[in-house]
Structure 1
């Protein structure tokens, strides 16, 4: 895969790359992609951290409810508690991005 800035690698292009590297059909690669995404999503929804060796770790973090001040009105606005995804880059990926 070539490295280009400001582009997004979506399902179709990634499936094409997988099919070529694995020497399987495009359909088989898309099935693999769908299964992978489904499993990652399922694990994250259960609160399990997902580590992709050499890339990084995706985990769910929780944040508390709090009050913000609206910049437009100056009035307090309640922000409810919630969850978000966090990504922590693995050292090999950091090194590759910063030195390569």
Structure 2
């Protein structure tokens, strides 16, 4: 009555949405690690990062297909939303991207 046909269809798990983080949490994670990679489809994090870059809290670099980094100015970030980004701590004292093991906001 019912015949089962052999198929080669493999079900994939649905993608989880990108985590939503408050900009302060984003700054703390970047300053503690030194830098943070952001997926190309994580629009919420990129939007928060653009705002923080305008305020001078972050350095944004675009990651190309071969892995090279290209620094993005405040006006260039809109055109690079389709590429993965690297968010780094700015060079307040020394080299950009050096980690701060004690965290950015000590009380």
Higher strand share: 1
TM-score normalized with structure 2 length: 0.24
Higher helix share: 1
